[in-house]
């Protein structure tokens, strides 16, 4: 082969080899770029997945804490609103307090000058005398004997009574060997007709005991009578609860009786109220309020 042709062929082969090497280098660089890109994507995706996982865990923790707090708040709210008062049922003969509130079962109303007392009626047998002869269906609304507590002002006594006959009698029985009782503003009405007053002259404003029946079986001294205005005795001042007149009784040695009858309907409930002042207690002091037929 001529020398010129050989050199030319070598040049062509060298050029082809360089071209091939260049193309191989470009292909390698492309693969490196793709690999780097793929690796970057993979790393990014891995980081994104880890971030999402951490975010999910954080969200779960937050939700758990929130729900726990809500549960706690609900528990606190339910506890604070669910607790009310504790009811206690009891019965008593007579109870009193100096509260400014009103209660239904013990009916306690008070100010600086008055206390309302409601008692549970008790059916008993009483000793018969010329004043009580023939009484039946006896119910004692209030009773104290030798332990009647003295008070500085009038007390209001209220009761509910279910009638057992068509005519009913209310009687106030007093004995006070040392001082007096003062009685005023006696009222009785049917629950079905609260505006109708069944007692006549319950405030003694007639100036006497008209409409009432008085009985003094032992002719005791200092017997009951209607008084006008203010009366002082033994360091105590006796006055009307309202109006100008009141009933004052200091029967000595034995009790006397003040009664009035009124029409009732069997089975109907009647409200009874009166105001009583007892300045001092002690031996020889007693009072009874009696319902009978």
Q: Is the pLDDT of residue 5 over 50?
A: no
The rounded mean pLDDT for the chain is 75
Q: Which of 172, 194, 190 is nearest to 266 (CA)?
A: 190
Taking only the tens place, the pLDDT of each residue in 61-91 is: 555 555 444 443 433 333 333 333 322 222 3
Between 144 and 20, residue with greater pLDDT = 144
Between 23 and 41, residue with greater pLDDT = 23
Do 183 and 172 form a contact (C-beta atoms < 8 A)? yes
Residues across the chain: 293
Q: Is the pLDDT of residue 163 over 60?
A: yes
Between 141 and 52, residue with greater pLDDT = 141
Q: Is the pLDDT of residue 187 over 70?
A: yes
Between 191 and 117, residue with greater pLDDT = 191
Between 28 and 93, residue with greater pLDDT = 28
Question: pLDDT value at position 145?
Answer: 87
Cα 247 from Cα 203, distance rounded (Å): 8
Sequence-distant (6+) residues with CB within 8 A of 114 are 153, 154, 155, 156, 275
Under the banding of pLDDT at 50, 70 and 90, the label for residue 109 is: very low
Is pTM beyond 0.75? Reply is: no
Q: Is the pLDDT of residue 94 over 50?
A: no
Element (H, E) at 215: strand 213-215
């Amino acid at each position: 082969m001529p020398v010129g042709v050989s050199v030319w062929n070598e040049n062509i082969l060298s050029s082809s080899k360089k071209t091939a090497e260049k193309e191989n280098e470009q292909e390698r660089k492309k693969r490196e770029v793709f690999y780097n890109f793929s690796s970057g994507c993979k790393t990014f995706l891995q980081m994104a997945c880890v971030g999402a996982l951490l975010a999910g865990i954080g969200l779960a923790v937050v939700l758990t804490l929130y729900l726990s707090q809500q549960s706690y708040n609900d528990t606190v709210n339910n506890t604070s609103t669910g607790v009310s008062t504790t009811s206690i049922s009891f019965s008593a003969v007579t109870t009193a307090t100096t509260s400014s509130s009103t209660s239904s079962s013990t009916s306690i109303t008070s100010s600086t000058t008055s206390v309302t007392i409601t008692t549970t009626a008790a059916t008993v047998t009483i000793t018969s005398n010329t004043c009580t002869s023939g009484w039946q269906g006896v119910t004692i609304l209030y009773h104290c004997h030798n332990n009647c507590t003295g008070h500085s002002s009038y007390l209001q006594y209220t009761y509910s009574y279910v009638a057992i006959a068509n005519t009913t009698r209310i009687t106030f029985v007093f004995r006070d060997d040392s001082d007096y009782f003062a009685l005023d503003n006696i009222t009785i009405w049917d629950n079905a007709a609260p505006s109708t007053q069944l007692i006549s002259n319950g405030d003694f404003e007639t100036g006497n005991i008209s409409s009432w029946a008085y009985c003094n079986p032992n002719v005791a001294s200092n017997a009951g009578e209607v008084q006008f205005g203010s009366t002082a005795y033994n360091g105590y001042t006796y006055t009307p609860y309202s109006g100008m007149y009141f009933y004052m009784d200091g029967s000595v040695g034995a009790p006397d009786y003040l009664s009035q009858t009124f029409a009732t309907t069997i089975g109907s409930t009647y409200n009874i109220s009166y105001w009583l002042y007892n300045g001092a207690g002690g031996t020889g002091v007693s009072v009874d309020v009696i319902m009978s037929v």
